């Protein structure tokens, strides 16, 4: 069950519910993309050998092209493969991090215009869940913040000011359109023990699962992390934390 705790609030002009949930609530859905990404990669890669035509190529040619592109700095074909996903029920904190990926486009729920909601969802982190004192404090604080937001809205305060009282753990949704090469970089960077644990790893796994569901395992496998390939993750500076997912290189 994803709902950990429920609060029914009737002390404001518009009664509402707060659902405190865990990561099981998070959803990722593939929305749109190229019909034959692997074959398209194969066709584009043939251009590096001087072959420019519109003839269809096989999955085998596409798979060979992927191996070649992974062995060179010439990786433009990956940039030309585009997918759109819907990511639902992630925190505002998460989306603040995701939109730092520059080579992607986003359509995100605006907290300025949500107005009065009938149901608010708030994520409860795994560390808070294991500490009853922390859980009680978190539930009370988030509940009070949302009640304050609702009361500010009742007073006619503009949404762009009232929203500042909403907790960062409140859940929201966004569409992301992203080229394959940017998605590969994002996956490799976030599927690592150096990355913030929790939502990132869940989202990345679900995106790869969606690519596998839509296109098959050969396309899903285009997303991989260094630790999955048995390679160094690249975080070996003196200020990086020690790697806990693989042996030091």
The whole-model pTM stands at: 0.90
Contact (Cβ atoms closer than 8 angstroms) between residue 114 and residue 159 = yes
- Cα separations (Å) of 108 from 122, 178, 186? 17, 14, 19
Helices (H), ranges, 4-80:
37-45, 59-69, 76-79
| Domain positions in the chain | 1-34+81-249
pLDDT, position 249: 44
For the stretch 194-201, contacts whose Cβ atoms lie closer than 8 Å and that sit 24 or more positions apart, written own/partner, are 194/233, 194/235, 194/240, 194/241, 194/243, 196/97, 198/23, 198/125, 198/126, 199/23, 199/26, 199/90, 199/91, 199/94, 199/123, 200/94, 200/97
pLDDT, position 30: 98
Structure tokens at 71: 């062995």
Please say if the pLDDT value at position 39 is more than 60: yes
Q: Is the domain defined by 1-34+81-249 classed in CATH 1.10.357.10? A: no
Distance CA 42, CA 72 (A): 15
Residues in CB range of 16: below 8 A, 6 or more apart? 9, 116, 117, 118, 119, 120, 146, 150
Distance CA 39, CA 62 (A): 5
Contact (Cβ atoms closer than 8 angstroms) between residue 204 and residue 212 = no
pLDDT, position 232: 80
Model confidence pLDDT, tens digit, residues 185-196: 999 999 988 888
Distance CA 58, CA 158 (A): 56
pLDDT, position 175: 98
Distance CA 14, CA 126 (A): 31
Model confidence pLDDT, tens digit, residues 219-241: 999 999 988 888 888 788 888 88
pLDDT, position 115: 84
């Amino acid at each position: 069950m994803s709902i950990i705790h429920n609060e029914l609030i009737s002390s404001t002009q518009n009664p509402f519910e707060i659902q405190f949930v865990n990561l099981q609530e998070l959803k990722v859905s593939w929305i749109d993309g190229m019909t034959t990404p692997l074959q398209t990669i194969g066709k584009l890669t043939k251009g590096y050998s001087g072959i420019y035509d519109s003839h269809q190529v096989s999955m085998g040619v596409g798979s060979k092209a992927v191996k070649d592109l992974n062995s060179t700095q010439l990786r433009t074909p990956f940039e030309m493969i585009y997918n759109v996903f819907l990511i639902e029920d992630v925190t505002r904190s998460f989306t603040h991090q995701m939109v730092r990926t520059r080579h992607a486009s986003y359509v995100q729920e605006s907290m300025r215009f949500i107005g009065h909601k009938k149901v608010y969802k708030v994520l409860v982190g795994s560390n808070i869940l294991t500490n009853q004192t922390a859980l009680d404090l978190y539930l009370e604080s988030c509940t009070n913040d949302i009640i304050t937001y609702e009361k500010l809205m009742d007073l006619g305060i503009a949404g762009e000011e009232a929203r500042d009282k909403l907790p960062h753990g409140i859940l929201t949704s966004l569409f992301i359109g992203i080229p394959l090469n940017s998605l590969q970089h994002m996956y490799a960077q976030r599927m690592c023990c150096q990355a913030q644990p929790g939502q990132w790893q869940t989202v990345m796994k679900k995106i790869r699962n969606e690519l596998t569901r839509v296109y098959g395992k050969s396309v899903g496998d285009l997303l991989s992390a260094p630790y999955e390939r048995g390679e160094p993750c690249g975080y070996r500076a003196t200020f990086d934390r020690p790697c806990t997912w693989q042996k030091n290189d």
